[in-house]
A = this chain, B = another copy of it.
Amino acid sequence: MAAELTREAAAARDAADPLASFRERFVNRDPERIYLDGNSLGRLPVATRDRLRDLVEQWGERLVTGWPEWIDAPTRAGDALAADVLGARAGEVVVSDSTTVNLYKLCSAALDAYRLSAQRVLVTDRGNFPTDRYVLEGLAEQRGLELRLLDSDPLDGPQAAELEPALHDGAVALVVLSHVAYRSGALADLKGITDLVRRYDAHVVWDLSHSAGALPVGLRDAGVELAAGCTYKYLNAGPGAPAFLYVAEDVQPRLSSPIWGWFGQRDQFAMDRSYDPVDGVGRFLAGTPPVLELAAVEEGVRITAEAGIDRIRAKSVELCDLIVDLHDAWLAPLGFELGSPRDGARRGSHVALRHDEAWPICRALIERAAVVPDFRGPDSIRLGVAPLYTGFADVWDALDRLRRLVERGEQREVDATRSRVT
């Protein structure tokens, strides 16, 4: 084995890691377990546990008089995300509702704003995350539009070169793509695709669920108009925490949410007036926002900001490269294939390993090897790295346990009939 693939080398990299101390900022009751599913649900920050406890007490003590402080949480969390995670400006991001609801709001708003009778086509990638496709299927049916599905190479994700032919006839109104593909981890060219689509007078809504908190998104530099994404993955805000929604400042005046609600209303408590939404992204708020879980978003963003998104990205690429190298050395001979781009610059923060027995291997890893990956059908084991709490030795140990388990055929000894939840 090459010297750099020894456990000692991995431990040495942890010792030299400038982010190593962030590991202590997360609750970890079972240090033996290696958690490689932060791309699905991030760990609990200690600060978030404390903040949630305080906030529950605050509800109990302050009751309704707490609202003057709570009411700005969607924009406060949004501004922090904009500055520290998304490369956007204050006033361009709010946090509330789910990713699905936010994608629906943005797609509807874009279709309403840019009513172009000849542009009757919606586009996404067949491999895009299901809820993104479903939102578009629904809008296509409700509005009598056509939905075109790109058949991108799953390893590469959607490419400008594949998208361009779909745009040629000038019929496309809206494109929805994921910045990082949920299965392969392929990283799309945010700026290249945005520019291309705009050249054809169409619009893109980006789903940032698998990139926010894992890499510098740079929305403003890429000229992105519309985006939404999740906070419970790399932003560690907890199960079902509210999602974010971004609308670039220059397109805000043209767009309004399809869901007209009182939290988007100017002078909200002058209750007798007709709907008159605030200027800016706040008009995309609808109902009363989830106060407890917004505090968890704020804490998650705070830790990310403190570590610095560039340092997070640098470590993420190194961790994923180590997975690829160990795959080549140990796993390829056992029937595994890489299900992610080999080039770190074209990959998000997880690596998919394909294997015919992927599902029972996943079960066996969780039940017998104290390694938590996740499974995505039909044949992918996703190994996600979260640089705030994943170390190089964690990756080494996880892959070591994986190869030993498969060498012994332990995946044939587990009950793999359990339902596949998450």
Contacts and interface: CB of A to CB of B under 8 A. Distances in A.
Interface of A: 27-30, 35, 37, 40-41, 43-44, 48-49, 52-53, 56-57, 59-61, 63-68, 70-71, 97-101, 104, 112, 129-131, 133-135, 137-138, 142, 230, 232, 238-243, 257-263, 265, 268-275, 286-294, 366, 372, 374, 376-377, 419-422
Given A53-B53, A59-B239, A100-B259, 10 more contacts: A27-B57, A43-B63, A48-B56, A100-B263, A104-B258, A104-B286, A142-B258, A269-B419, A269-B421, A290-B290
Contacts of A377: 269-272
A366 B64 CA distance: 11
Contacts of A376: 271
Given A131-B287, A421-B269, A35 B61 contact: no
B100 A290 contact: no
Contact of A135 (B35, B133, B259, B422): B259
A114 to B, nearest CB: 15
Contacts of A130: 262, 265, 268, 271, 273
Contact of A44 (B60, B104, B239, B374): B60
A134 B275 contact: yes
A375 B230 CA distance: 36
23 contacts: A27-B61, A44-B60, A49-B57, A56-B238, A64-B372, A65-B366, A65-B372, A68-B419, A70-B239, A98-B261, A99-B288, A101-B101, A101-B259, A104-B261, A129-B262, A130-B273, A131-B287, A133-B275, A134-B262, A134-B275, A239-B292, A240-B292, A240-B293
B37 A63 contact: yes
Contact of A97 (B37, B52, B98, B260): B98
Nearest to A137: B275
A261 B422 contact: no
Contact of A290 (B59, B65, B70, B242): B242
Contact of A43 (B44, B60, B372, B422): B60
A180 to B, nearest CB: 16
Contact of A259 (B64, B104, B257, B422): B104
